[in-house]
Structure 1
Amino acid sequence: MATNWYVKVEILALVLGVVSLVGTIAITALPTWKVSAFIGANLIVMEELQEGLWMTCYRHANFRMQCKAYDSLLILPGELQAGRGLMCLSIALVIFAIIVMTCGLKETSCCRDSIKKKNIVLAIGGSLYLVSCLTTLIPVCWVSHSIISDFYNPTMGDGQRRELGSAIYIGWATSLLLLITGVILLIRCSKRTTQEEEYYYEDDLPEGRDVQEKRSISLARITSSVQEYV
């Protein structure tokens, strides 16, 4: 029963990892990091501006929104430039973490000969999730701080102020999922006890168990024969 529960925990971690990957890709691609703030004189202006890592989107009144990629990297503020690199790194880390953790799961054939190796692989996967959590959280919080600082800057006009877009909130949620996944995997490593290792080999190596039993029986017969001879 305990082993089945551990397997379910590993599957949960795998599902959370895949969801985190989808979230990481989404916030990297979405242009809704910064959105227009409809305050003051900007309330009556029927214009909406969205800024992302790769493009800006503009809509006037009820017309269709038009998006355009940035003409140059140099026109981007520092937080968006850093966000590009860190978010691409996050995607790579999450993909690698999913591959590594899959090799460390109990039901996979990788490293079946040693549960200690599986523990090491699973711990590496959990650590990668924690690192990807940081590389996702840093740009999201950096851009959020920039938006809030500019919003309360008295020298900024109403048309220049921005609000937190949906990508920021998705980024926070994704960072939380990455953190939870990493913690689950690291706790899972610490819970693999010697008893589970014995159960592990009983389930996955029945032939080896039969050989050991046969050797024990043969040894008992030899001992009995020696005693009778004496």
Structure 2
Amino acid sequence: MACYILQLAGLSLGGIGMVGTVAVTIMPQWRVSAFIGSNIVVFENLLEGLWMNCMRHANFRMQCKIYDSQLALPPDLQASRGLMCAASVLSFLAFMIAILGMKCVICTGNNVKRFFLLMAGIMFILAGIVVLIPVSWVAHVTIKDFYNPIVNTAQKRELGEALYIGWTTAAVLVAAGLIFCCVSCCKEKGNHYRYSIPSYHTTPKSHHSGRKSPSVYSKSQYV
């Protein structure tokens, strides 16, 4: 029972991590405008993501535009695109393999289920690491440019919401992977019952009486 509860917990965390990975990939809030100074009135906010940049106005209206050229993007955003797409696919495959290894699925044997859970755990951990790399890379570049005196004030950016969600998602994926790796080594001991097939024995005819002896019913139960 404890192993089944851990399986449900790992599957729930893995599902949350998978959804979070896809959400972080498509969110435009990787970098946001940095407003430096106390006398600045904010009328619009610039958001930069992996696939588009958006302009959020003071009336909460947002306009987005897809990047015209991929090669014109900074190296960190170019690499983040591929890594986040790979993490999305990896987390999805890990989630589907974890479902096949669940205790409630009866299409496979116990040894195969443990193998599926182990593979799902490893893939979830790899997906968490793959998510952590681009998120931390973009955060490092953003912070470095923010404190760089050479960079113009209008070009300075701050960390967006997608980066914080990405760090949380990476932690959730790694936690799900560790749970599945532990569950794959778990063996529950329960009561196993085995019933033998009922047998009916008939004694041969008696030469003296000429009548059959009554049938004897035997059933054995092994606990």
Query: Shorter-chain TM-score: what band?
Result: 0.7 to 0.9
- The alpha-carbon deviation at position 21 of structure 1 amounts to 1.1
Q: Is it true that 1:169 corresponds to 2:160 in the alignment?
A: no
Equivalent residues in 2 for 1:148-159, closer than 5 Å: 148-159=143-154
- The alpha-carbon deviation at position 19 of structure 1 amounts to 0.9
SS of the residue corresponding to residue 75 of structure 1 reads coil
Question: Max radius of gyration: which structure?
Answer: 2
Unmatched 5+ stretches in structure 1: 216-230
Q: Which one has a larger percent helix, Structure 1 or Structure 2?
A: 1
Say how many residue pairs are matched: 199
Counterpart position of 1:77 = 74
Q: Distance in 2 between matches of 1:94 and 1:69?
A: 26
- Identity rate of aligned residues, in percent? 44
Residue 13 of structure 1: which of 6, 10, 15 is its match?
10
Q: Is it true that 1:185 corresponds to 2:180 in the alignment?
A: yes
Q: Provide the alpha-carbon RMSD of the alignment.
A: 2.0
- The alpha-carbon deviation at position 134 of structure 1 amounts to 1.0
Q: Distance in 1 between matches of 2:60 and 2:178?
A: 46
Q: Distance in 2 between matches of 1:177 and 1:46?
A: 36
Q: Is it true that 1:131 corresponds to 2:133 in the alignment?
A: no
TM-score in terms of structure 1 length: 0.81
SS of the residue corresponding to residue 156 of structure 1 reads coil
Equivalent residues in 2 for 1:66-105, closer than 5 Å: 66-105=63-102
Q: For the structure 1 residues 38 and 100, does the alpha-carbon distance in structure 2 shift closer, same or farther, using more than 3 Å as the test?
A: same
- Write the letter of the residue equivalent to 1:122: L
- The alpha-carbon deviation at position 165 of structure 1 amounts to 0.3
Residue 24 of structure 1: which of 6, 21, 38 is its match?
21
SS of the residue corresponding to residue 185 of structure 2 reads helix
- Write the letter of the residue equivalent to 1:56: N
Unmatched 5+ stretches in structure 2: 200-223
Q: Distance in 1 between matches of 2:153 and 2:43?
A: 13
- The alpha-carbon deviation at position 65 of structure 1 amounts to 1.6
Q: Distance in 2 between matches of 1:184 and 1:42?
A: 51
Q: Which one has a larger percent strand, Structure 1 or Structure 2?
A: 2
